[in-house]
């Protein structure tokens, strides 16, 4: 990463504002920043799609709308209708949330059809499917990726940013290995600086969802000075989902899965100061 191209990173960033308390002024700022800093899209709630489209129609910034957000538990028909309207309002990208409960129940036919309906309703806009990886084991993530490919989705995406934790390189790598080079992998959730961004890009992400895009790009300008020092090898536990597994926020089985991984991890003894 010695020749870090800041413009290339900008073109990987969905400049995101999804909070329930965000007013129109925030969305206006978001659109202006996206044009100013050269982001690929603004990622927003459906309510603001029309407004954002008006701000961006003369630029090359895309409008991306989330669908079934943030829980993914709406009916398939409602998700499809929501996507259809978002596209009609100007969305060129759709980020839908998978039905995590159905996936964990192994109700794969339902999950496949749920995604298919949104893909169909969104055409020709591209669809990214949010897996909410924090609630899934590695095996479930692999299965979800396979279903997304089969359903014709264009991207798989890690997180909503509203779950127990966000994107980790481990999950991104697993997703990239599963979907191959022809499907996009979007990392989202908890990406707050250029070190996070570089880590996830190196793991296989070709799109980043973050509200910290401006900070990431400005911070990345430090990188050319002392690049090795800024990117000192990470203590593996810092970026391991097991380390961030929280008993209060995760399903029992998923929490147990991550903790088991932690107990048997090769790094555990070396970095056991984290377990003092």
Residues that bind another protein (CB under 8 A): 29, 32-33, 36, 192-196, 212, 214-215, 218-222, 224-226, 228-230, 232-233, 235, 238
Taking Cα atoms as reference points, which of 240, 100, 232, 218 lies closest to residue 167? 240
| Residue with Cβ nearer another protein (159 or 210) | 210
Q: Specify whether 95 is catalytic.
A: yes
In degrees, rounded to 5, the angle at the alpha carbon of residue 212 between the alpha carbons of residues 211 and 214 is: 115
Shortest distance, position 265 Cβ to another protein, whole Å: 19
Among the options 95, 128, 195, 196, which is catalytic?
Answer: 95
Q: Is residue 50 flagged as an active site residue?
A: no
Which tokens is 102 given? 């159905």
Query: Which is catalytic among the residues 89, 157, 195, 196?
Result: 157
* Nearer to another protein among residue 138 and residue 218 (C-beta): 218
CB within 8 Å of 176: residues ≥ 6 apart? 185, 203, 204, 205
CA–CA distance, 126 with 1 (Å, rounded to integer): 29
Q: In whole angstroms, how close is the CB of 90 to another protein at the nearest point?
A: 23
Using the minimum distance from each CB to another protein, give the nearer residue, 70 or 219: 219
Q: Which residues, other chains included, contact 96 with Cβ-Cβ below 8 Å and sequence gap of 6+? A: 66, 67, 68, 69, 72, 79, 83, 115, 118, 127, 128, 129, 130
The rounded radius of gyration (Å) of the Cα atoms in the chain is: 18
CB of 222 to another protein, least distance (A): 5
The catalytically annotated residue of 128, 186, 195, 196 is: 186
Question: What tokens were used for 256?
Answer: 């147990």
Provide, rounded to whole angstroms, the least separation between the CB of residue 101 and another protein.
34
- The 8-class DSSP code of residue 225 comes to S
> Residue 157 catalytic?
yes
Q: Between residues 113 and 218, which has the closer beta carbon with respect to another protein? A: 218
Q: Please, which residue, 79 or 195, has the CB nearer to another protein? A: 195
Cβ at position 271, least distance to another protein in Å: 11
Distance CA(48)–CA(57), nearest Å, equals 14
Residues near 254 by beta carbon (within 8 Å), at least 6 away in sequence:
134, 135, 136, 137, 245
Q: Is the dihedral of CA 147, 102, 142, 184 positive or negative?
A: positive
* Non-local CB neighbours of 19 within 8 Å, separated by 6+ positions: none
Q: Which residues are catalytic?
A: 95, 157, 186
């Amino acid at each position: 990463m010695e020749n870090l191209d800041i413009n290339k990173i900008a073109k990987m960033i969905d400049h995101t504002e999804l909070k329930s308390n965000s007013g129109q002024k925030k969305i206006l700022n978001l659109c202006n920043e996206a044009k100013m800093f050269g982001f690929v899209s603004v990622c927003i709630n459906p309510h603001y799609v029309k407004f954002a489209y008006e701000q961006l129609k003369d630029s090359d910034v895309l409008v991306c709308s989330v669908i079934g957000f943030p829980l993914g538990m709406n009916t398939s028909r409602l998700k499809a209708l929501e996507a259809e309207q978002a596209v009609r309002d100007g969305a060129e990208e759709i980020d839908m949330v998978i039905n995590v409960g159905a996936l964990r129940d192994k109700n794969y036919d339902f999950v496949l059809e749920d995604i298919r309906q949104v893909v169909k309703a969104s055409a020709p806009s591209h669809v990214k499917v949010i897996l909410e990886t924090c609630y899934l084991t590695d095996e479930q993530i692999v299965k979800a990726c396979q279903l997304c490919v089969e359903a014709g989705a264009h991207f798989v995406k890690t997180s909503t940013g509203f779950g127990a934790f966000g994107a980790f390189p481990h999950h991104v790598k697993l997703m990239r290995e599963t979907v191959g080079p022809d499907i996009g992998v979007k990392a989202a959730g908890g990406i707050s600086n250029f070190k996070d961004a570089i880590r996830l890009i190196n793991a296989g992400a070709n799109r980043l969802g973050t509200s910290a895009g401006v900070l990431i790009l400005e911070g990345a300008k430090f990188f050319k000075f002392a690049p090795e020092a800024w990117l000192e090898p990470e203590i593996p536990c810092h970026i391991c989902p097991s380390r961030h597994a929280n008993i209060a926020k995760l399903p029992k089985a998923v929490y147990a899965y991550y903790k088991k991984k932690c107990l048997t991890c090769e790094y555990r003894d070396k970095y056991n100061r984290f377990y003092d």
